[in-house]
Amino acid sequence: MKRARIVKKLKALLTENLHINPARNPIHIRLEGDSIVLEGMVERVAYKKKALLCAMGLEGIKGVVDRLRVRPAKKMGDREIKHHIIDAITEEPTLNADTIEVEVKDGVVDLEGRVPSLSHKRLCGVLAWWVPGSTDVINSLIVDPPEEDSPEELEDAIRIVLEKDKLADASSVNIRVDENWVVTLTGTVKSPAESLAIEDDTWYVWGVNDVINRIEVLR
């Protein structure tokens, strides 16, 4: 596929799959060798992750460079973001802040260090995403000792995250993770805002490849 056709194909896929306002979610596409570069600021983490999935599925592309950012809910400086994340980690009784390093540059959070399980790694990443000034989270935490991942582990981690979100009631939401790490959400909530919050929380969890939101909003 020629370079111009690759870019055109991806733009069509983004329009078809994301259904987003390009003025509010400008995604810029260019090719560097056999890799495709995505840049821009989007409204939701779901748009960022789905755009990357579309790019990864293109024939002839060997790599995807992710420079997409999520528009922050609140404008914050890097130092303020870092302090909020450290506070959140410190206040979480299952995490040890002494083994986790937090760096922030231009709103992008980098988590490094060691945690005792995959669930701890995933929870720590979500806590960083929940800080309203964060625009992206790079979760480089090492699980020590190493732990084998599984759909069941991912499902448990998502449930832990949803139970900690005070802005959404996920008590009537069911979670299913298939062998391709695709998460299907079913059940009921009281408002569209809750449904979107639960979907975003799920996307925030490290290791999720896709989210299918079939949650019904009660009338």
- Range(s) within the chain of domains with CATH label 3.30.1340.30: 3-70, 151-217
* DSSP SS3 for 89: helix
CA dist 31 and 34 (Å) reads 7
pLDDT in tens, 160-173: 999 999 888 899 99
Cβ distance 147 to 120 under 8 Å?
no
Alpha helices, DSSP H only, in the chain? 3-18, 45-56, 78-91, 118-130, 151-164, 192-204
Structure tokens at 200: 């975003």
For the chain, how far is it from start to end, CA to CA, in angstroms?
48
- The domain defined by 3-70 folds into Histidine-containing Protein; Chain: A; (3.30.1340)
The model's pTM: 0.93
pLDDT in tens, 22-74: 778 889 999 888 889 999 999 999 999 999 998 988 887 889 999 999 999 99
One of 2.30.30, 3.30.1340, 3.30.1330, 3.30.420 is the CATH number of 78-143, namely 3.30.1340
CA dist 131 and 76 (Å) reads 9
CA dist 53 and 20 (Å) reads 16
Q: Give the CATH number of domain 151-217.
A: 3.30.1340.30
The count of other CB atoms within 10 Å of the CB of residue 96 is 15
